Amino acid sequence: MTDPQRAIDARGRRPATERDERIAEHSAGEKQEGIPFIGAGPGDPGLLTVTGKELVEEADLVVHAGSLVNSDLLERYCADAEQVTSIGKDLEELVPLIRDAYEEGRTVVRLHSGDPAIYGAAVEQMDALEHEGVPTYIVPGVTSAFAASASLRTQLTLNGVANHVAFTRPQGKTLDPEDDHIGEFVEMGDVTTCIYLGTHAIPETMDRLLAEDHDPDTPVTVVYHASWPDEDIIEGTIETIGERVEAAGYRASAMVIIGDAARKAGYDRSYLYDGWANRSSGEADD
């Protein structure tokens, strides 16, 4: 009988120093056995990787992340496959569904939105499947923060403006207030803070930043449905963005970016195209 929790608990009991024995099983570029956990990208079907597209095209069963995966992508690459949404299914339902299809010899893919590595909850499914003897692997995708950055025609790190990027989420049902670090990232000044899973909570998040005395004029940019045909960009500040997003009516599917990098304001020329490569040893930027 399937018990995903046992697989998760077993993984949790292993010391962090113990390496996952599957890590060196394959060399880069080699074809892998098992269920691919594929990053579908942010929405635009063209942003699925070449490998992801080939795997989805071959699939008999596509288990996907519901409305976060563009239906055009499913239509374009796997119209003939059985398509099942993972929304509303718990691990106890998902794992046997995928395992049974795999054991029947069907070609199954698991399609996550963006990249599975970011708020994807992929690892628990993979561990549970591996526990049942079903091999799995990850095919990365384009995370929505990168799509939002491209839509804004900017970089998330920008010389003289932002040296770091934080992928984060606000406190709520699944994150305790003491684990919400948005204020700390903003306080650092040279961090571009990308907030996932926070569209519904923008006014509260901004109110907290105001209560913590952050500069109310700090730029905040919200990219709704980055790379989708109905993409929308709303610009404001810590003080104004809450009202603007509420007026637009967005409650989900947006990337909230705090910081000057989203506006490309005040950046400096980088060393990279300034003779740097010829005069110092170190890691080249690209």
Ligand X SMILES: C[S@@+](CC[C@H](N)C(=O)[O-])C[C@H]1O[C@@H](n2cnc3c(N)ncnc32)[C@H](O)[C@@H]1O
User: Which residues sit at the interface with ligand X, rule CB under 6 A?
Assistant: 42-43, 68, 112-115, 118-120, 143-144, 147-148, 196-197, 199, 223, 225-228, 252-255
CB of 47: closest distance to ligand X in angstroms? 9
CB of 228: closest distance to ligand X in angstroms? 6
Q: Which is nearer to ligand X, 2 or 113 (CB)?
A: 113
- What is the residue whose two structure tokens read 């990098």? 261
CB of 259: closest distance to ligand X in angstroms? 16
Question: Which class for 155: exposed (0-12), middle (13-18), buried (19 or more C-beta within 10 A)?
Answer: middle
Write b or e for each residue in 45-73: b if 16 or more Cβ atoms lie within 10 A of its Cβ, otherwise e: bebbbeebbebbeebebbbbbeebbbeeb
CA distances (Å), origin 12, targets 107, 151, 184: 30, 39, 28
| CA separation for the pair 144, 253 (Å, rounded) | 9
CB of 282: closest distance to ligand X in angstroms? 30
CB of 251: closest distance to ligand X in angstroms? 10
CB of 168: closest distance to ligand X in angstroms? 11
Q: Which is nearer to ligand X, 36 or 99 (CB)?
A: 36
Q: Is 52 helix (H, G, I), strand (E, B) or coil?
A: helix
Which pair of tokens denotes residue 179?
A: 């684990």
Q: Which is nearer to ligand X, 248 or 252 (CB)?
A: 252
In the bound state, the residue with its beta carbon closest to ligand X is 114
Q: Which is nearer to ligand X, 170 or 219 (CB)?
A: 170
Q: Which is nearer to ligand X, 87 or 272 (CB)?
A: 87
Q: Which is nearer to ligand X, 5 or 67 (CB)?
A: 67
- Phi first, then psi, for residue 2 (nearest 5°) are -75, 130
Q: Which is nearer to ligand X, 61 or 65 (CB)?
A: 65
Sheet order of strands, 254-258 included: 164-168, 191-195, 254-258, 219-224, 232-237
Q: Which is nearer to ligand X, 68 or 98 (CB)?
A: 68
- Phi first, then psi, for residue 181 (nearest 5°) are -110, 15
> Which residues are CB-neighbours of 259 under 8 A, at least 6 positions away?
161, 162, 186, 191, 192, 193, 218, 219
CB of 189: closest distance to ligand X in angstroms? 23
Which pair of tokens denotes residue 119?
A: 């708020």
CB of 8: closest distance to ligand X in angstroms? 18
